């Protein structure tokens, strides 16, 4: 980030750093060491202030861990140890604060080996994957830091998503820079919205805004970083890279802000409105001005296209889930289909081919092409492939159930028997060698229950469970274009999707075309449209729209398969509304949609 060329700093200039780091929930000691490391890196760059993500000490989201008194005590002790290592620099570190039986999502201001101030998050999100009101009490004070006369307001995540919030209180108290600590999870397209929020805040208040975000995977959430600095005219000055630990360092010259504010015609927020949010106070900090410090390169704006961002999220989610749960190797049932091809490619890119074992489990209904495609995929990726035909187990199951099933016609139970044999074998392999099974079901299948409990749903991590089938194809094509190589054989793209649980079976025998299905799922799940409105939207299409019967059938399948989704493994959230904590509906419900 720096060169060896020195530069002197104008008196109206402050050097700030946003350290987007990959913490692990509950690894308090490890997180503290990470914070200490990045404080040192910020000091090497001559920063006056370094900001870390929300709840840095505990990792985010700590969930019910915060209800244990020893967890809170350990988090507070670790913060104290970090503070002892902080000298002239100012470090903003997220932690859980406790007072009089109440918990606060707080940012500590560390300086000269002490905790000199704290900010308690005021706006607590309680929607989607967020449950902060379950744990935390809202704060009511807005400290403003004064460093060599430069005023800096500190707040946390959701606080800047309100049109009038703590930032406005701090700006009214003279803040020239807002520093916002975040743990904002990834979803496709969200970074653009974050930029709008941050630049909008800067523009309406005529301030600089430094936004620092967490990076890394945590269960089903992935945090993509993308920390940024916005200027007082609403311009985006620079961003950090996404999906990797990094530090955004910048010099901010506040000298021109006074004229900007004098010329700014925006209507001031009434004082009684500000008083209803919080009370501001100024904290004076003695931060010496360095005589010389390293020269910084020009800031840049990092951009990723949609498919690359999604693919990186899936890689990071997989890598961190394995690392943070202690698994080093995975097993994947490789069928020769598009879903298992994508999951295998993601696993290889996340942890290396040497840590991935593919298992082909052909049945009497598996086509020779599927077996060949699985072998070709694994060969191109450098993955070891085991071939275990399931016919012996299949025959044994049929024999065991022969008497019980006597007089009935073969049907779904017999088909799913094969998937359950495969699930049993995969879990036996994992159990034997201490590996983790990655399942291969996508969002389209999870939505309508086109998956077998204790069969293809058996496993520990479902990386593409929030990826619709149509996006699976896009991501596979993207992976081939992305390189290295083109690991996914063309034959896998070209053949009709099939579970191959009966002779000649293809998915579209029982499902609508995937483009129709995914549109209906998106409208009903993510947009929360009623079935009637979904029908209207489909009928309004000039061509390719689903019939009313198809829409209502898909909606019913979604509704009655909630019990299956409750038993599915976690997977990476990439859409605006994923199954799991994002969407919580009763299993037993009399509501007729």
What does each C-alpha distance from 15 to 49, 89, 193, 252 come to in angstroms?
7, 10, 26, 6
The 330-333 sheet, strands edge to edge:
384-387, 356-360, 330-333, 436-438
Taking a C-beta distance cutoff of 8 angstroms, is the pair 397, 414 a contact? no
Rounded Cα–Cα distance for residues 35 and 40 (Å): 9
Taking a C-beta distance cutoff of 8 angstroms, is the pair 55, 158 a contact? no
C-alpha Rg value of the chain to the nearest Å: 27
Taking a C-beta distance cutoff of 8 angstroms, is the pair 340, 236 a contact? no
Taking a C-beta distance cutoff of 8 angstroms, is the pair 152, 175 a contact? yes
Among 321, 324, 567, CA closest to 438 = 321
Taking a C-beta distance cutoff of 8 angstroms, is the pair 536, 530 a contact? no
Taking a C-beta distance cutoff of 8 angstroms, is the pair 175, 168 a contact? no
Rounded Cα–Cα distance for residues 215 and 245 (Å): 6
Question: Which residue among 157, 171, 378, 476 is the active-site one?
Answer: 157
* Alpha-helix runs per DSSP H in 206-295: 257-263, 271-275
Rounded Cα–Cα distance for residues 293 and 538 (Å): 61
Partners of residue 213 on adjacent β-strands:
182
Rounded Cα–Cα distance for residues 76 and 49 (Å): 21
Largest CA distance in the chain: 91
Q: Which secondary structure element, helix H or strand E, spans residue 281, and what is its range? A: strand 279-285
Tokens standing for 50? 């370094």
Q: Which secondary structure element, helix H or strand E, spans residue 247, and what is its range? A: strand 246-253
Partners of residue 230 on adjacent β-strands:
209, 236
Question: Which residue among 121, 151, 469, 573 is the active-site one?
Answer: 121
For residue 29, give every residue at least 6 positions away whose Cβ sits within 8 Å of its Cβ, in sequence order, or none. 78
Taking a C-beta distance cutoff of 8 angstroms, is the pair 567, 439 a contact? no
Distance of CA 141 to the CA centre of its chain: 30
Going by the DSSP 8-state scheme, the letter that residue 527 receives in this structure is S
**Is residue 121 flagged as an active site residue?**
yes
Rounded Cα–Cα distance for residues 409 and 451 (Å): 21
What does each C-alpha distance from 394 to 337, 391, 424, 432 come to in angstroms?
21, 5, 12, 22
CA angle 293, 299, 300 (to 5 degrees): 160
**Is residue 298 flagged as an active site residue?**
no
Rounded Cα–Cα distance for residues 475 and 487 (Å): 12
Rounded Cα–Cα distance for residues 126 and 138 (Å): 12
Rounded Cα–Cα distance for residues 28 and 77 (Å): 10
Helix and strand numbers (H, E) in the chain are 19, 21
List the catalytic residues: 54, 121, 157
């Amino acid at each position: 980030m720096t060169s060896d060329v020195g530069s002197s700093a104008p008196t109206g200039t402050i050097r700030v750093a946003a350290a987007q780091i990959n913490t692990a929930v509950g690894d308090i000691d490890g997180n503290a060491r990470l914070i200490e490391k990045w404080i040192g890196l910020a000091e090497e760059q001559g920063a006056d202030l370094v900001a870390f993500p929300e709840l840095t000490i505990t990792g985010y989201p700590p969930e019910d861990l915060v209800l244990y008194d020893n967890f809170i005590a350990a988090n507070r002790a670790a913060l104290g140890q970090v503070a002892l290592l902080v000298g002239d620099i100012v470090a903003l570190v997220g932690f859980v604060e406790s007072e009089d039986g109440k918990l606060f999502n707080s940012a500590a201001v560390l300086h000269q080996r002490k905790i000199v101030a704290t900010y308690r998050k005021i706006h607590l999100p309680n929607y989607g994957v967020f449950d902060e009101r379950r744990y935390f009490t809202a704060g009511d004070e807005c400290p403003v830091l004064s460093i060599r006369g430069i005023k800096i307001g500190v707040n946390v995540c959701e606080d800047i998503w309100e049109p009038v919030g703590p930032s406005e209180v701090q700006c009214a108290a003279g803040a020239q820079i807002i520093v916002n600590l975040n743990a904002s999870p990834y979803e496709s397209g969200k970074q653009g919205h974050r930029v709008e929020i941050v630049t909008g805040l800067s523009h309406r208040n005529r301030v600089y805004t430094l936004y620092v975000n967490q990076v890394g995977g945590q269960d089903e959430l992935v945090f993509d970083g993308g920390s940024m600095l916005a200027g007082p005219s609403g311009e985006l000055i620079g961003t950090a890279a996404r999906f990797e630990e990094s530090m955004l360092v910048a010099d901010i010259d506040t000298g021109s802000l006074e004229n900007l504010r004098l010329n700014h015609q925006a209507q001031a927020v009434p004082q009684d409105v500000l008083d209803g949010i919080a009370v501001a106070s100024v904290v004076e900090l003695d931060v010496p001005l360095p005589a010389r410090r390293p020269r910084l390169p020009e800031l840049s704006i990092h951009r990723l296209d949609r498919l690359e961002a999604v693919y990186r999220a899936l890689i990071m989610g997989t890598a961190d889930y394995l690392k943070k749960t202690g698994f080093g190797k995975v097993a994947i049932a490789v069928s020769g289909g598009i879903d298992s091809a994508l999951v295998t490619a993601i696993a290889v890119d996340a942890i290396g081919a040497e840590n991935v074992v593919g298992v082909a489990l052909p049945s009497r209904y598996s086509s020779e092409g599927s077996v060949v495609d699985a072998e070709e995929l694994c060969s191109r990726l450098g993955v070891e492939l085991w071939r275990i035909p399931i016919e012996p187990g299949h025959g044994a199951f049929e024999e065991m159930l022969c008497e019980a099933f006597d007089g009935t016609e073969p049907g779904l139970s017999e088909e799913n028997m094969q998937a359950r044999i495969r699930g049993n074998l995969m879990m036996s392999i994992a159990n034997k060698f201490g590996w983790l099974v990655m399942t291969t079901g996508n969002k389209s299948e999870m939505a309508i229950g086109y998956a077998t409990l204790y069969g293809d749903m058996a496993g520990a991590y479902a990386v593409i469970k929030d990826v619709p089938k149509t996006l699976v194809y896009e991501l596979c094509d993207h992976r081939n274009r992305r390189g290295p190589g083109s690991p996914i054989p063309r034959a896998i793209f070209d053949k009709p999707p099939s579970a191959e649980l009966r002779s000649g079976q293809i998915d579209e025998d029982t499902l609508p075309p995937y483009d129709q299905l995914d549109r209906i799922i998106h409208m009903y799940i993510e947009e929360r449209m009623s079935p009637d409105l979904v029908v209207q939207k489909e009928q309004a299409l000039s061509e390719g729209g689903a019939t009313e019967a198809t829409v209502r059938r898909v909606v019913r399948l979604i509704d009655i398969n909630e019990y299956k989704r409750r038993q599915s493994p976690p997977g990476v959230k990439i859409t605006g509304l994923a199954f799991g904590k994002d969407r919580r509906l009763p299993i037993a419900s009399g509501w007729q949609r």
